[in-house]
Amino acid sequence: MEETFETNALHYHIPECYKDEYEYLTVRVQSAISEKFPHGMSAIGTERVKEELAVIKERGWSKYFLFVGDLLNLSREVYEEFLSGPGRGRTSCSLVCYLLDITSVDPLKFGLPFSKFAGNADSQRTPPIALDVDCSKYDIIAG
């Protein structure tokens, strides 16, 4: 039986200057576009980001993406020897995951469709984000 994850159970602090998690996520994604695509993102990429963010908003996943991205980025900052994989499975199909450094796989470059990550349009189930981390450091992020 596959476990489900309830994003409402997450406690995530949003800076007061943002009205909600979605607005904060959108700003973080836009900022990451400038960093990862310094010469600009293609029209296809820009449309893809809009589509992914719309699905994330509609399904209530903003806090989930922010939480997982911060978890991995903080772990990398605090622990110099923290190793994480590039992303695997369906996780690699999300451009937002790439922009938030959850994965290091650019789904545009490899033609990976977001629909594989998000599931069908009727699904409200939170998609699993596979975290491949050095097992000797797993207790750092799990505890």
Contact assessment for residue 59 and residue 82, using Cβ atoms and an 8 Å cutoff? no
For residue 6, pLDDT beyond 80: no
Buried b (16+ CB within 10 A) or exposed e, 56-67: bbebebbbbbbb
For residue 83, pLDDT beyond 90: no
Runs of H (alpha helix) within the chain: 21-36, 43-59, 62-78, 95-99, 107-110, 114-118, 138-142
Q: Which residue has the higher pLDDT, 7 or 25?
A: 25
Most confident of 72-76, 89-93, 104-108, 115-119: 104-108
Nearest one of 102, 91, 82 to 25, comparing CA atoms? 102
The reported pTM is 0.80
Cα distance between residue 89 and residue 78, in whole Å: 27
For residue 73, pLDDT beyond 90: no
For residue 120, pLDDT beyond 70: no
Cα distance between residue 85 and residue 134, in whole Å: 8
pLDDT of residue 86: 56
